[in-house]
Amino acid sequence: MAEARTRWTTTLLWGVAVAILYWALFHFQDDIVRLAHTTVDACLVVENGKELYYHKPTPETCAAKGGTLIKGNWLNVLVPIIAAFVLSYVHGAFTSMFWDTLGLKAANKKK
C-alpha cells in the first residue's frame, strides 16, 4: 500500500514537472517562434496585428515591406536542441511511470 502511494506520488511529481515545462513552452511561445526565425537574418512585418517573418531579406526588400530587419544569431539553434532533450527526458520518464502505475504491461510471451 505504502509502495503504491510512493509510486503514485513520484508519478505525480514527474507529471507536475512536465506540466510546468509545457506551460513555459506556451507562455513563451512568441519568444520561441521569434528565436527560431531569427536564427537567420529575418524581416519582421506586422500585418493585422500578426507577426510575419520573412527569411534572408536584404535591407531594401525588408524596407519595401515596411518591416524591421533583425540580424540572425546562429546560437538560437541551441534552443530547440536543448529543449527537445530536456522535455523528452522528463516527459519520457513520466509516461513510463504513468503506464506502469496504471498497470499496463506487455504480455509475458508473444502469441
Partner 1 sequence: MELIQFIDIDLTGALLLILIGFIGGMVSGFIGSGGAFVLTPAMMTLGAPGIVAVASNICHKFPKALVGAIKRHKYGQVDVKLGLVMGVFAELGMLYGKQVMTSIKDRFGAVGTDLYVSVIFVIVLAIVGGFVYRDYRILKSHPHGEEHRLTRLARWVQSVHIPGTMVYFPGAKAKISVLFVAPMGFATGMLASTIAVGGFIGVPAMIYIFGVPALMASATELVIAFIMGLGGTLFYGLEGMVDLRLAMLILLGSLFGIQIGAIGTTYVKDYQVKLTMAVIMITVLFSRLFYIPGYLSQLGLIEPLPASTVKTLKMAGDGVLALALVLGAVTVLTALIRGMAEHRRQHEALSENQGIAE
Q: Give contact residues for partner 1 (rule: CB under 8 A).
A: 18, 22, 25-26, 29, 32-33, 36-40, 42-43, 52-58, 61-62, 65, 72, 74, 76-77, 79-81, 83-85, 87-89, 91-92, 95-96, 98-99, 104-107, 110-111
Residue 2 CB, shortest distance to partner 1, in Å, is 26
Closest contact distance (angstroms) between CB of 43 and partner 1 is 6
**Helices 78-102/2-27 angle, 10° precision:** 150
Whether residue 68 contacts residue 44, with contact meaning beta carbons closer than 8 Å, is answered with: yes
CB 62 within 8 A of CB 90: no
CB of 38 to partner 1, least distance (A): 7
Q: How far is CA 91 from the centre of its chain?
A: 12
Between 2 and 26, CB nearer to partner 1: 26
Neighbouring-strand partners of residue 50? 47
